[in-house]
Amino acid sequence: MKNYALVLFFINWLIATVALGGVHSLYLKLYPMMSVLLFIPLILSKKSPFLVSKVNLIIIACILAFWCLVGIQLLPIPSTLLKWIAPLSFDRSYGFLQSISLSPKSGYPISVFPDHTIFALRLLFPFSCIVIFALLFPMTTDKQLNRGLGVFILISSLVACFGLIQSFYGGTKIYGFIDRGYNIFGPFVSKNHAGGHLAVASVICLALSFSKRLKTYRIFFLSIYFLCLLSILFIGSRAAALTSLLISFWILVENRSSIKKQYIGMGVLVFIFVLTLGFIWNAHLFSRIFGGNTFRIAFWHSAFSIWTESPLFGSGLGTFSDLSLQFLGTTKWMHPEHVENEYLEILSDTGLFGFAIFGTAITLLFKKAFKVCHSHKIPSNIKAFGFGLIALLVHALFVFHAPLPASHFLLGFLMMGFLQSGHLKLISIRSSLIRWNLIILLPLGLWVSYESSRKVSDNNMPIEDSLTTYSSTSLELKIAKELRESQYQYLKDVLAEYPYEPSVWFTFARREGEFGNIQLARNIANEAILRSPLDITKRLQLSEFFGRNGYFEDIEKWNLDILQSPAPLSDHIKSALYNQLVYYSLLSNRMALATKYLEKSEAFANTWQARFYRGIVDTNHLKYMTESWKIFTRNRRYQANVFDYHWLELGKRFPFLLSKEIVGNMNLLRHNSKTRP
């Protein structure tokens, strides 16, 4: 039955790799339960007991302890205790709510984004299953090892070939055409993750080439080794190149006595040939070495800064992506999804306690792998797994592997290959214990899948901006006022419940302003933008409110802050931000400033707003107004009120917009386009 379990493992790994590294949306939904299925053949097995080493059991204990730590991060903690154990979480919940005179709840969790921590469990759960599976049921026979290596080389060849294809087509990201609209790349999400797999594959193939049992396949292993190196050159991953070269050099040193002189010369020639191909075909790695960015250093610094704010328990598993925006300065606009360092992200997210648990498991793995690699009694096909694991741990200094299921299977595969080697004292475990584990894992997997699909949002809040606008009688006005006040109180309650959700802050800032608390609204708005600077839609809505109330300086500061940064914004978004500056510049009668921003807007996109504003600053009003209406009706055929609002608001400042000539012409255009008002 163990062989059936291994077959399931490798099928899952192959599917995860083909499913774009395991990040395809459909695969992510199935992944937690698919990982539990690995145990079913072993549960059905009548053989008992299972033999496991002491090291493996300690690592399993570390995994369970890590789960307990994440559970603690999600528990509501009283303010006095939270201030001591997690100052960062206290400041972002109790501290700020009190500063705006809101009553906080009796307890908030350590995680600054509990929803993100729960979402991270969707990957932590199957990762734990795969690692426990690898620890309990390693590959012990040569037949299992060699078949496993065959599947691994097949997957690695796929990654290498896809990497070369992608580099020749000029793409940098590997996304699925079903989800994102990009051309399909293949196995992994980015060049760094694909490069990490190839770095591991290259060192394993090089180590296997020194195996006496597999010497008939030596040329094949070396061919795959150089194929992986060539693909790394074109993928352009500096971390993968460095890892591969370092571990390859170590392998050569360990096997220096068995290297023949003619093989040295041949290897050098092939290596030079690979480099020459890279230069001739302009491999991406060379341009990245000499002209690459240093964002990783900024990300590492931000992770360390977050850890110093909450050193014991961290900020919460999976919270770095959003929290880092407050610690990165101008680099924040690159919006790092991860630290690009496995160890620093664990330290930042889980603090000293989490890092100690994680570090214990990693230290045991590294120590065991190093002994295996350095031993002369252990066969080369087993030593290859040890070299591969060390390569993965070194590569983790530069890339965060945890989000990719394909990387989870890679780690599990490497652990299954060498952990049971050498002279070990094995401990017997009854199969009934494994069955009880499955009973616990199944409901836990269902809970993780359910909870991670939930998301806090203020979209369902019963808030209506236009209630008072269309209320004419005193009774209607009274009802509208009471309703708005009840909605305002409801929003306060939501904010007290979810002080970590940026979307609620944006809405609350507008509501405070509507009730006349402008200065407080500005403070909350700044906090909202600080917490979620790339939420462009919310920013524009917030700016719209402050613009209507005459706070042009705030809008100008917020919009220029992001426009003058290296934020990855589309031309359409840049044009929208500049158009908003043009609109409020015109309303405040700053013609020179409006013209300046209008020119920048037109450089990015030919929008109906830009044509409309050009009709104001240019003498040929009618021409541009007509062009604006034609562009507008192509995109917004049944939303004429949006156009009318701008027209009437600016008409108050510029009377010629309401002249008979323009109004008559625009009404004719409206009639011809059959657009409903």
pLDDT at 362: 94
pLDDT at 202: 93
The mean-pLDDT minimum among 148-157, 284-293, 319-328, 584-593 falls in 284-293
Average pLDDT over residues 253-271: 69
pLDDT at 370: 92
pLDDT at 414: 93
- Find out whether 362 and 353 touch, Cβ atoms under 8 Å: no
pLDDT at 577: 86
pLDDT at 201: 94
Average pLDDT over residues 648-674: 69
Question: Which distant-in-sequence residues (6+ apart) come within 8 Å of 442 by Cβ?
Answer: 36
Is the pLDDT at 309 greater than 60? The verdict is yes
Average pLDDT over residues 194-202: 91
The mean-pLDDT minimum among 224-228, 464-468, 633-637, 638-642 falls in 464-468
Average pLDDT over residues 81-107: 81
Query: Which one, of 605, 548, 337, lies nearest residue 540 by Cα?
Result: 548
pLDDT at 354: 94
In the structure encoding, which two tokens stand for residue 7, read together?
């077959």
The mean-pLDDT minimum among 160-174, 631-645, 659-673 falls in 631-645
Is the model more confident about 282 or about 380? 380
pLDDT band at 175; cut points 50, 70, 90: very low
- Give the global pTM: 0.79
> Element (H or E) spanning 426, and its range?
strand 426-429
pLDDT band at 469; cut points 50, 70, 90: very low
pLDDT band at 501; cut points 50, 70, 90: confident
pLDDT at 471: 38
Distance of CA 317 to the CA centre of its chain: 13
Q: Which residues of 613-649 are buried (b: 16+ CB within 10 A; e: fewer)?
A: bbbbbeeebeebbbbbbebbbeeeeeebeebeebbee
Is the pLDDT at 468 greater than 50? The verdict is no
pLDDT at 177: 36
Query: Chain-wide mean pLDDT for the chain?
Result: 76
Highest mean pLDDT among 48-52, 109-113, 666-670: 109-113
Highest mean pLDDT among 107-111, 392-396, 655-659: 392-396
pLDDT band at 97; cut points 50, 70, 90: confident
pLDDT band at 455; cut points 50, 70, 90: very low
Highest mean pLDDT among 110-114, 158-162, 474-478, 610-614: 110-114
pLDDT at 486: 65
Return the residue matching tokens 């949002």.
457
In the structure encoding, which two tokens stand for residue 163, read together?
């990497």
